[in-house]
Each structure stands twice: as C-alpha cells, then as structure tokens.
C-alpha cells in the first residue's frame, strides 16, 4: 500500500464557479458540503469552523480572495482593486492565530497588484488560488516522506487535533507523516487525543484513519502523559498554526502539555508544517495572537450542557497554546528538516526558500 492510497478526503473543492467546503462540524455523522459563491460566505465558513486547520483555511482564504475580485469586477469594473478591500479584511479577521490565512491573502494581494485595472482579475486570481492549493498538496507529500523517514520501525505515535486531509489540501501535515510511516510499515501503534472541546481528534482524525484502514486508539486528552509513561509512544507528531521566528510553536490547545510530558518521558516531539506556517514577523510565542472562543464550547459537549447552569460557572477557552522551541526535537517542512529548531535554524530555512 502506498501513502497515496491514504488520501481520499477533500476538505475543499472548486467546482461550478464556487468553493465547496466539507462541513467539518457535522462529521462524522454527515458528509455535507457548504457552497460559497462570495467572499463573505468564505469568511463566515472559516469563522464558524466549517473549514478549519491552518493550511485549509489559507487555501479557503485564497479562493475567497478570488471570489472577492469577481464580485468587485462585476460591481465596480476598473475600480475592482479598491472595491475588494473590505472582503479581504473580513477574510483576514475570520480567525487570528493560523498565519497561513494572512500568508495566503498577502500572496493573493501581491498577484492582484500585478493585474491591469481594465481587465477582469478573476481568471488570474483563481489560477493563483489553484496554485496555493496545488502547492499545499505537494508540500504535504514531501513532509510526509521526510517525517516518516525519522520514525524507527516498530514505533508508536501520538497525535493531537486533526492535521490530515481535512486540515490541508492533501495528505495532511502530522497525519501525512503518520499515513506515510504506516504505509512504510514503520508504525505499530497510532494514538489520537480526542481534543476537547471541538473533538477534532475523535470526530475527524479517527474518521480519516478509519477510512484509510489505519487502526487508531483514541484517548481523553488528560490520559496522554500516562500513555507516554507506559512506554507505548516513541513520537508525538503534531501540526502548527504559527511558528514564530525563534521556533516557538502555536498549535491546538493541549499541545504544550504534550510537549512537557514528552520531554519528561523521553518521547520525541515532531512538529510538521509547511513553510507558510512560519511567521518571521512574529519574534516569539508571546507575540502570537491566541484565539479565544465562547464559554459554551467548554460548558457543553455534543450540543448538551455538561456543566451546572447558573451563575458562578464560567470557562476559559483558549483555542491554541504555545510550545517553546526548546521542547521541539524536530520541525519538518517541505523545504527541509530542522533539528532542535531555534532562531538560527528557522532563519536558515526561511532564507533557503528565497
């Protein structure tokens, strides 16, 4: 079996002049698509978590920018560039932590700036969005291969959140490494944290792995340190939403605790992310904006209130946390692998990409 046979789900598709997003809030019960025909619809889908995962929201935003240009050209003709500014701003604000979103919009704006005012910008910007999408698919494959090569045969891995086809354009980042390592016969055991409160691990990662025929054991997030202590895990493999210039990593809440437990139990810690996730403008983890969502996400589960109702019971619901670079053993990107990432290693990787 090859890794490519483990790559069937598509979170986003461009069809019939619109962006179709697999509604990830409804998985695994229902496979329903939301059709977005303009940029505000894409911005709303990102904010509401119809589409989620750093690379996937970057790709969605790129298509959203192409849709913004289409609307602006239809309504304002040669004034399209200025007319699409509000739509771009709404896309930029749809979620704050994953830098892939801002990166994709900056790329689309740079392409838009090259286009003549008097011509319909839609075909060129749509082609750019397709390129962003296709490059992510290719990056996933390269990361999968290099990350899997670091894993010794017979290993156990633990992952967190969802970093697979649902979170990217293709095979996935951390899950791409796991898929490739499984296809290579290197993995004995795959574990996934359920990932409260949105349950991306239980609902999405387990769904993707089950579809691939890769056995997975789910665990409550709080069980991870005990699992590491048991000796069943050799690698924790996670994705990232933003990597600061010094190598600090923002990822799904709970990642920092995994990194601490991994260091204590001599389990290796791998971060897998495309170069677009590296933000050289953000000096360190302290400067990464961390999204906080509503209290009801923690006070409820599966649509049912689990905490006592009434005054005095609130919640703290940061969506991401920051793992200091010193706890990361290896960063895998499509441009190469950085062992013990730090400011120097990150700067070298960024410079190599031109």
268 is in an annotated binding site: no
Question: Do residues 149 and 177 lie in contact, with contact meaning Cβ atoms separated by under 8 Å?
Answer: no
Stretch that binds ligand MRU, among 53-61, 122-130, 299-307, 330-338 (CB under 6 A): 53-61
Strand partners, 237: 159, 270
Stretch that binds ligand MRU, among 81-89, 114-122, 221-229, 238-246 (CB under 6 A): 238-246
Phi, psi dihedrals of residue 119, rounded to the nearest 5°? -125, 150
Question: Residues 241, 248, 321, 329: which is the catalytic one?
Answer: 241
170 is in an annotated binding site: no
Residue 242 is a binding residue for ligand MRU (CB under 6 A): no
Q: What's the DSSP call for residue 291?
A: P
Distances (CA, A) of 86 to 25, 51, 65, 127, 350: 27, 21, 11, 22, 30
Residue 161 is a binding residue for ligand MRU (CB under 6 A): yes
Show contacts with ligand MRU in window 12-51 (CB under 6 A). Answer: none
Stretch that binds ligand MRU, among 125-133, 141-149, 165-173, 222-230 (CB under 6 A): 165-173
Strand partners, 190: 157
Rounded to a whole number of angstroms, the minimum distance from the CB of residue 127 to ligand MRU is 24
In sequence order, what are the residues at sequence separation of 6 or more whose Cβ sits closer than 8 angstroms to the Cβ of residue 207? 27, 28
Task: Report the SS3 class of residue 88.
Answer: helix
Q: Per-residue x/- marks for ligand MRU, 181-200, CB under 6 A? A: -------------------x
Strand partners, 322: 250
Rounded to a whole number of angstroms, the minimum distance from the CB of residue 322 to ligand MRU is 12
Stretch that binds ligand MRU, among 52-60, 111-119, 263-271, 321-329 (CB under 6 A): 52-60
**Total binding residues toward ligand MRU, as defined by CB under 6 A:** 17
54 is in an annotated binding site: yes
Q: Is 241 assigned a catalytic role?
A: yes
70 is in an annotated binding site: no
Q: Find the binder of ligand MRU among 94, 163, 246, 323 (CB under 6 A).
A: 163
Task: Report the SS3 class of residue 13.
Answer: strand
Q: What's the DSSP call for residue 243?
A: E
53 is in an annotated binding site: yes
Distances (CA, A) of 40 to 36, 47, 81, 310: 8, 10, 16, 35
Residue 251 is a binding residue for ligand MRU (CB under 6 A): yes
Question: Do residues 331 and 341 lie in contact, with contact meaning Cβ atoms separated by under 8 Å?
Answer: yes
Q: How far apart are CA 291 and CA 101, in angstroms?
A: 14
Annotated binding residues for substrate, as ranges? Answer: 52-54, 95, 200, 251-252
State the catalytic residues: 241
Residues marked as binding? 52-54, 95, 200, 251-252
Residues of this chain that interact with ligand MRU (CB under 6 A) are: 52-55, 98, 161, 163, 167-168, 173, 200, 239-241, 251-252, 319
């Amino acid at each position: 079996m090859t890794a490519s046979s483990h790559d069937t789900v598509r979170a986003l598709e461009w069809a019939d002049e619109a962006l179709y997003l697999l509604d990830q809030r409804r998985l695994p019960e229902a496979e329903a698509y939301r059709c977005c025909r303009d940029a505000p619809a894409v911005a709303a889908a990102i904010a509401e978590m119809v589409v989620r995962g750093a690379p996937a929201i970057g790709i969605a935003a790129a298509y959203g920018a192409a849709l913004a240009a289409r609307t602006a050209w239809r309504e304002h003709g040669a004034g399209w560039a200025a007319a699409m500014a509000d739509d771009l701003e709404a896309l930029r604000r749809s979620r704050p932590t994953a830098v892939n979103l801002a990166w994709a919009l900056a790329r689309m704006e740079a392409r838009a700036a090259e286009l003549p005012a008097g011509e319909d910008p839609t075909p060129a910007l749509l082609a750019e969005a397709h390129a962003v999408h296709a490059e992510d698919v290719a990056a996933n494959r390269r990361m999968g291969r290099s990350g899997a090569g670091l894993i010794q045969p017979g290993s156990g891995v633990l992952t967190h959140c969802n970093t697979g086809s649902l979170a990217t354009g293709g095979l996935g980042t951390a899950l791409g490494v796991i898929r490739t390592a499984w296809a290579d016969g290197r993995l004995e055991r795959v574990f996934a944290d359920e990932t409260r409160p949105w349950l991306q691990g239980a609902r999405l990662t387990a769904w993707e792995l089950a579809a691939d025929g890769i056995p997975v054991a789910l665990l409550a997030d709080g069980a991870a340190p005990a699992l590491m202590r048991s000796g069943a895990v050799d690698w924790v493999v996670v994705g990232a939403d933003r990597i600061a210039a010094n190598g600090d990593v923002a990822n799904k809440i709970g990642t920092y605790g995994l990194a601490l437990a991994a260091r204590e139990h001599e389990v290796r810690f791998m971060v897998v992310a495309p170069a677009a996730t590296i933000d050289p403008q953000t000096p360190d983890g302290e400067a990464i904006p961390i999204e906080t969502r509503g209290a009801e996400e923690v006070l409820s589960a599966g649509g049912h209130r689990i905490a006592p109702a009434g005054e005095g019971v609130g919640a703290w619901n940061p969506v991401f946390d920051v793992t200091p670079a010193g706890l990361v053993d290896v960063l895998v990107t499509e441009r190469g692998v950085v062992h013990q990432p730090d400011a120097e290693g990150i700067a070298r990787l960024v410079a190599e990409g031109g």
